Structure 1
Amino acid sequence: MKSSNPVLGKAFNQPATMQVDQLEQTYSAPAASSLRTGRMTLEDVVAKTGFLFGILLVVGAVAWRANLGMGAVMLGFLGGFVLAMIISFSKSIKPALVITYAALEGLALGTLSSYYEAFYPGIVSQAVIGTIAAFAGVLVMYRSGRLRATPQFTRAVIGAAIGYFILGLVSLVASFFGVGQGYGFYGVSGLGLLLAVAGVGLASLFLVLDFDQIEKGVNAGVPENQSWRAAFGLMVTVVWLYLEVLRLISILRGNR
């Protein structure tokens, strides 16, 4: 039977044996990679995320051993913030900027972590384990369908994040005027503990939004270079989660 469809005609008008041979070749061929399709895959995101965290860890280890001052922390975080804004609002993705962002975060985190470790020995390993545990827990719940980025969930998380940052800003400003106990936003006051707990929870929930965006991007067949943006988004959230876990543990240990 011949097909009058000009697109299907080449397929349906071939002898049956040729169709069987072509099907066998298709099913036996390896799965198409992003290099073949030009589309983002989950493997791309995982590989680029691992690469970025590798950059962060290498630079962080160097900063840790160099015993840099708080100027390095400010340079890393401020430079990272500027790059994060550029990357987030840029229509085209520039891998060099994402890699530079990872290096700056490594500079800031390595230096800051060494300071925390000096005051609370063992705290960095505890924070790393806590961050990995939170990440793995959220990923398992997301994959099982227990956590999904529904419109209601997204609005609630975004609204809570806005309230969190406003409360944190109020606490920080109040600390400059000697209001409250400790150091306000990073202190050991009751408000500081509340913010730290809320920060860990919010950062963990933001992982759900990241996973959802990655899944939607893969299903929609977005261009392969968008895997850099997906990896960048994951890094931002994981760095935030690590800082909140680090702060929470320091508050709990400082209250002993």
Structure 2
Amino acid sequence: MPLMKTSNPALGENTFRNVGGGYGGGLIDAAARMTLSGTVNKTGVLLVLTFATAAWTWFKYLSYGSPAAVGGLMAIGGIGGFICAMVTIFKKEWAPVSAPIYALLEGLLLGGISAMFDQRYPGLAIQAVGLTFGTLFALLFLYSTRIIRVTQKFALGIVAATGGIMLLYLAQMVLGFFHVQFLSSVNGSGPIGIVFSLIVVAIAALNLVLDFDFIERGVNYGAPKYMEWYGAFGIMVTLIWLYLEILRLLAKTRSRD
């Protein structure tokens, strides 16, 4: 059975190739192979680490009430998290160390962003957290009960949609450096902006389904134990994207009040 493609850059088609093991786990001992329960546990560890540093940045921002108070921490989190993610993707065997570092760094960024949004729209961050985890558990249930099945067409559709969104964001960022407004309506709080955010949230959420499927196939492939950390890292990449998109959507809806 071939591995299913996924649009998550951390869980690409060749993630479980050339890392040892094989279907049926004939090449490495059973105790040294990746398991679903182990991946779930390690995802929990990464979530705790992310919450810990996010809480630190959050309370630091609230104490001073100024973005300048946490700007340095957010920059370290954003830039450091990106570098750490790239290292993890290209050096999967480092995931037991690099994935926790990634979680800690991303927490610095998310805490600051969340506090800023929450100061402007009280209660927004906790709503976004609740919706993110609600979506996670709902999709996990739908996937585990096979109500949602990952077919090749389904996967290719999500990959294509995700790629289109990323290209749009990249174009906006590059043109922004030259003070060029590009499709500004999608960033606004009007109907077009809200519909666009709803679509992006849906695509981000469906990426979780692809991640679940891909990790399950990796377990069947007999990947080594350290790939549990890598699988957990991949889930975190999608969860962070989903949270930020939900936060953005809620902010758009609140700004219309």
TM (norm. structure 1) is 0.79
Deviations 1:213-254 (A, max 9, x none): 111122222111110000000111111111111000000101
> Which has the higher mean CA deviation after the structures are superposed, 38-47 or 101-110?
38-47
C-alpha distance 66-46 of structure 1, shift in aligned 2 (>3 A) = same
SS at match of 1:224: coil
Give 1:55's aligned residue. Answer: 49
Task: Write the distance in 2 (CA, Å) between the matches of 1:48 and 1:241.
Answer: 19
1:177 to 160, 176, 180: 180
Q: CA deviation at 1:149?
A: 2.3
Give 1:106's aligned residue. Answer: 107
Q: Which amino acid aligns with 1:177?
A: V
Give 1:65's aligned residue. Answer: 59
Deviations 1:6-46 (A, max 9, x none): xxxxxxxxxxxxxxxxxxxxxxxxxxxx9962111112111
Is 1:147 the counterpart of 2:141 in the alignment?
no
Q: Which amino acid aligns with 1:61?
A: A
Task: Write the distance in 1 (CA, Å) between the matches of 2:75 and 2:190.
Answer: 24
Give 1:136's aligned residue. Answer: 137
- The structure having more radius of gyration, on CA atoms, is 1
Is 1:225 the counterpart of 2:226 in the alignment?
yes
Equivalent residues, number: 221
Give 1:40's aligned residue. Answer: 34
Specify every segment of 5 or more residues in structure 2 that has no aligned partner in the other structure, as ranges: 1-27, 62-68
Task: Write the distance in 2 (CA, Å) between the matches of 1:131 and 1:140.
Answer: 14
Instruction: Check whether the contact 1:200–1:241 (CA below 8 A) recurs between aligned residues.
Output: yes
C-alpha distance 44-249 of structure 1, shift in aligned 2 (>3 A) = same
SS at match of 1:69: helix
Give 2:94's aligned residue. Answer: 93
Q: Which amino acid aligns with 1:42?
A: L
Q: CA deviation at 1:204?
A: 0.5
> Which has the higher mean CA deviation after the structures are superposed, 214-223 or 52-61?
214-223
C-alpha distance 204-178 of structure 1, shift in aligned 2 (>3 A) = closer
SS at match of 1:147: coil
Q: CA deviation at 1:181?
A: 5.5
Give 1:241's aligned residue. Answer: 242
Instruction: Check whether the contact 1:181–1:188 (CA below 8 A) recurs between aligned residues.
Output: no
Give 2:200's aligned residue. Answer: 199
Q: CA deviation at 1:88?
A: 1.2
SS at match of 1:95: helix
Task: Write the distance in 1 (CA, Å) between the matches of 2:90 and 2:30.
Answer: 28
C-alpha distance 255-49 of structure 1, shift in aligned 2 (>3 A) = same
Task: Write the distance in 1 (CA, Å) between the matches of 2:176 and 2:195.
Answer: 15
Task: Write the distance in 2 (CA, Å) between the matches of 1:230 and 1:255.
Answer: 39
Instruction: Check whether the contact 2:158–2:207 (CA below 8 A) recurs between aligned residues.
Output: yes
Deviations 1:171-226 (A, max 9, x none): 453693356657x64x4355543432122111111101110111112222211111
Give 1:20's aligned residue. Answer: none
Task: Write the distance in 2 (CA, Å) between the matches of 1:99 and 1:59.
Answer: 11
TM (norm. structure 2) is 0.78
> Which has the higher mean CA deviation after the structures are superposed, 136-145 or 242-251?
136-145
SS at match of 2:224: coil
Q: CA deviation at 1:62?
A: 0.8
Q: CA deviation at 1:169?
A: 3.5
Instruction: Check whether the contact 1:180–1:189 (CA below 8 A) recurs between aligned residues.
Output: no
Q: CA deviation at 1:83?
A: 1.3
Q: Which amino acid aligns with 2:169?
A: G
Instruction: Check whether the contact 2:43–2:233 (CA below 8 A) recurs between aligned residues.
Output: yes
Give 1:15's aligned residue. Answer: none
Task: Write the distance in 1 (CA, Å) between the matches of 2:71 and 2:94.
Answer: 31
Specify every segment of 5 or more residues in structure 1 that has no aligned partner in the other structure, as ranges: 1-33
Give 2:8's aligned residue. Answer: none
Task: Write the distance in 2 (CA, Å) between the matches of 1:224 and 1:87.
Answer: 15
**Runs of 4+ with deviation above 6 angstroms:** none
Q: Percent identity?
A: 36
